[in-house]
Chain A
């Protein structure tokens, strides 16, 4: 479970940044007092246009950046006071995630397993499970730099899941991927749900959200505009399409 309360993130702006933003404010509020809850065994979608604060929110949940104020509890662990413990419970994947191109999948997976303190037997079992599931045996010893985007994505998925995290964070996971490669991610998200994991993913593609999520939150300019179940969202729509409703909520707020 992920519990976010009154979460705020402010970034200090340099003089140069203030000029670039045409603003005299020395602080930029990327996330402004948002609260939501992601339940175990359900898929939560964070929806918003570009620059809404989705990535910053997910980065705070994943302990990459520290919140200015507010609290985040991941699987019972406070990520601000115990970031190390929280990280052990999180799997993190973004659409722009890179891999070590000079290493092979075997080496990358071993590296992340070691960093997550996995014992050898458990690591090998999980690695082989994903090799079978994603049909990766043919390229497990090939250098990642020589692989296709699809193969790389499979390695990224396995890397994210290797330590069997209870909470999985996806930041625009299908961004820049072709339909077939994106399908692997969609399948992974569904599998995570079926395994009882807590899943949060950000997107600005309404069809993807419709396909996957149980609960959603819409944010824009750092503020929470909507939070509820997907079913409630559908039931209370004032426009004919999901995309139209999303645009309406963003524009009206």
Chain B
């Protein structure tokens, strides 16, 4: 145990003096969430401001009818109304984009309305201006209600007379369940990805890096067992993986609580981050980080140089991404099969916790299956490090 601690202490000191390590494993995880959240908030608020300030230019042809409706609409802010003599002039300006939506009254609009008929009010637009069209349609729906109400009053009936029933939507589902279904896999995935990246640089540096720098032979001639060397280094790799994930979590916590950002996006993330979720995530992340280290060490031991190890390990990111992506899909749940698939099981366990329907038996199976895998990967790492052909390659 003493030798393992000596090796781990030296590796910590060595890695913490490496700028590459500090940037990739400490700075990036710490800053990534504040930067992403800042960007999302900035884009959201700037889009909302733009939308609020945007004017909609509407053209109309009265065709000899009353301007009562147009006068009422023109009182609404951010809408400009321009009168045209006929539909050709209106269409021409629509194509020139000086107006984006056009209203054209039929020549008998007022008379037909008074007679209780249904006159035409044509809406001219170009397909690309869907947003403005939607806004004008919304205004016309209000006018439709006003005109209906007026007509009903003229025959001494209430508005409700022509509405036989009203559909009232009442969502009795838990908001968290909805969040979990569509976004519950995302948050744990970020931490898994940082954990993986956090493990990678130390794993490469401590084996392939030592081979490349010519320090491995010296270490092998000291009275330390190969097993102690691997375990000492593995402790450091796992710790850095967990440290990266923790710093990402810390950055997220800081963004949510101290950067004064509000909105649905923030509320959604805050809703996910319960102490239970974080606790479970860590319990599952520890064996998973050991498993990551156990995958990386044999590759690093085999590689001749830092670059070679990096070129093999970087594509392995897909191994983390793919199972996690399956976990994002609505309908994929933690069950007696998925609980045995590493990475996917962690994502699904977190998803079930966010959704509030976690099955503790399945989470326990997830944990023990990860422990087994971690143990297996440690064994493979020790075996590979013991092979002369790998170490002296």
Chain A interface residues toward B at CB < 8 A: 11-12, 59, 62-66, 84-85, 87-88, 90, 92, 94, 96-103, 107, 111-112, 114-117, 143, 159
Given the interface pairs A111-B6, A111-B10, the reply to whether A98 lies near B220 with Cβ below 8 Å is no
Minimum CB distance partner of B21 in chain A:
A102
Q: Which of B146-154, B221-229, B318-326, B339-347 contacts A (4 or more CB under 8 A)?
A: B221-229
Whole-angstrom distance between the alpha carbons of A62 and B3 in the complex? 19
Minimum CB distance partner of B211 in chain A:
A98
Given the interface pairs A98-B213, A100-B215, A115-B3, the reply to whether A87 lies near B222 with Cβ below 8 Å is yes
Q: Distance (Å) between the CB of A49 and the closest chain B CB?
A: 20
Return chain B residues, CB-CB under 8 Å to A97.
214-215, 217-218
As a 0/1 sequence over residues 211 to 254 of chain B, the CB contacts with chain A under 8 angstroms (1 = contact) are 00111011011111100000000000000000000000000000
Q: Which of B213, B218, B225 contacts A92 (CB 8 A)?
A: B218
Whole-angstrom distance between the alpha carbons of A114 and B5 in the complex? 10
Whole-angstrom distance between the alpha carbons of A88 and B214 in the complex? 20
Report which residue of B7, B14, B218, B222 has the largest number of chain A beta carbons within 10 angstroms of its beta carbon: B218
Q: With an 8 A cutoff between CB atoms, is B17 at the interface? A: yes
Minimum CB distance partner of A85 in chain B:
B223
Q: With an 8 A cutoff between CB atoms, is B389 at the interface? A: yes
Give the A-B contact count at a CB cut-off of 8 A: 73
List, sorted by A's number, 29 A–B pairs whose CB atoms are closer than 8 Å: A59-B217, A62-B221, A63-B220, A63-B221, A64-B217, A65-B392, A66-B388, A84-B224, A92-B221, A94-B214, A96-B214, A97-B214, A97-B218, A98-B213, A98-B214, A98-B215, A99-B215, A100-B10, A100-B213, A101-B213, A102-B14, A102-B17, A102-B18, A103-B10, A103-B17, A111-B10, A112-B222, A116-B222, A143-B17
Return chain A residues, CB-CB under 8 Å to B52.
none
Minimum CB distance partner of A84 in chain B:
B223
Instruction: Decide: B215 and A64 in contact? CB cutoff 8 A.
Output: no
Instruction: Decide: A64 and B223 in contact? CB cutoff 8 A.
Output: no
Whole-angstrom distance between the alpha carbons of A64 and B225 in the complex? 11
Whole-angstrom distance between the alpha carbons of A159 and B221 in the complex? 12
Whole-angstrom distance between the alpha carbons of A66 and B386 in the complex? 11
Minimum CB distance partner of A94 in chain B:
B217
Return chain B residues, CB-CB under 8 Å to A107.
10, 13
Instruction: Decide: A116 and B214 in contact? CB cutoff 8 A.
Output: no
Given the interface pairs A66-B388, A115-B6, the reply to whether A87 lies near B215 with Cβ below 8 Å is no
Minimum CB distance partner of B3 in chain A:
A115
Q: Distance (Å) between the CB of A43 and the closest chain B CB?
A: 20
Instruction: Decide: B18 and A87 in contact? CB cutoff 8 A.
Output: no
Q: Distance (Å) between the CB of B14 and the closest chain A CB?
A: 5
Minimum CB distance partner of B18 in chain A:
A102
Beyond known contacts A98-B213, A159-B218: 13 more, CB 8 A cutoff = A59-B217, A63-B220, A64-B217, A64-B221, A65-B388, A84-B225, A92-B221, A100-B10, A102-B14, A115-B6, A115-B7, A115-B222, A143-B17
Tell me the residues in window 7-21 of chain B with beta carbons closer than 8 Å to chain A beta carbons. Answer: 7, 10, 13-14, 17-18
Whole-angstrom distance between the alpha carbons of A96 and B214 in the complex? 7
Q: Which of A66, A102, A116 contacts B223 (CB 8 A)?
A: A116
Instruction: Decide: B218 and A88 in contact? CB cutoff 8 A.
Output: no
Minimum CB distance partner of A102 in chain B:
B17
Return chain B residues, CB-CB under 8 Å to A64.
217, 220-221, 388, 392
Q: Distance (Å) between the CB of B145 and the closest chain A CB?
A: 74
Whole-angstrom distance between the alpha carbons of A98 and B217 in the complex? 9
Given the interface pairs A65-B388, A102-B18, the reply to whether A115 lies near B224 with Cβ below 8 Å is yes
Minimum CB distance partner of B6 in chain A:
A114
Minimum CB distance partner of B221 in chain A:
A92
Whole-angstrom distance between the alpha carbons of A92 and B388 in the complex? 18
Minimum CB distance partner of B15 in chain A:
A102
Report which residue of A64, A65, A84 has the largest number of chain B beta carbons within 10 angstroms of its beta carbon: A64
Minimum CB distance partner of A88 in chain B:
B223
Instruction: Decide: B223 and A115 in contact? CB cutoff 8 A.
Output: yes
Return chain A residues, CB-CB under 8 Å to B222.
87, 112, 115-116
Return chain A residues, CB-CB under 8 Å to B214.
94, 96-98
Return chain A residues, CB-CB under 8 Å to B17.
102-103, 143
Q: Distance (Å) between the CB of B215 and the closest chain A CB?
A: 4
Instruction: Decide: B389 and A11 in contact? CB cutoff 8 A.
Output: yes
Return chain A residues, CB-CB under 8 Å to B14.
100, 102-103
Return chain B residues, CB-CB under 8 Å to A114.
6
Minimum CB distance partner of A111 in chain B:
B10
Shortest 3 CB-CB contacts between residues of A and residues of B: A98-B214, A98-B213, A102-B17
Minimum CB distance partner of B210 in chain A:
A98
Return chain A residues, CB-CB under 8 Å to B215.
97-100
Return chain A residues, CB-CB under 8 Å to B7.
115
Q: Distance (Å) between the CB of B26 and the closest chain A CB?
A: 16
Instruction: Decide: B223 and A87 in contact? CB cutoff 8 A.
Output: yes
Whole-angstrom distance between the alpha carbons of A84 and B213 in the complex? 24
Whole-angstrom distance between the alpha carbons of A87 and B218 in the complex? 11
Whole-angstrom distance between the alpha carbons of A34 and B224 in the complex? 28
Instruction: Decide: B13 and A90 in contact? CB cutoff 8 A.
Output: no
Return chain B residues, CB-CB under 8 Å to A111.
6, 10
Instruction: Decide: A103 and B13 in contact? CB cutoff 8 A.
Output: yes
As a 0/1 sequence over residues 191 to 214 of chain B, the CB contacts with chain A under 8 angstroms (1 = contact) are 000000000000000000000011
Return chain B residues, CB-CB under 8 Å to A112.
218, 222
Whole-angstrom distance between the alpha carbons of A170 and B214 in the complex? 15
Q: Distance (Å) between the CB of B220 and the closest chain A CB?
A: 5
Whole-angstrom distance between the alpha carbons of A84 and B218 in the complex? 14
Whole-angstrom distance between the alpha carbons of A23 and B13 in the complex? 46
Return chain A residues, CB-CB under 8 Å to B218.
92, 97-98, 112, 159
Instruction: Decide: B221 and A87 in contact? CB cutoff 8 A.
Output: yes
Whole-angstrom distance between the alpha carbons of A66 and B7 in the complex? 23
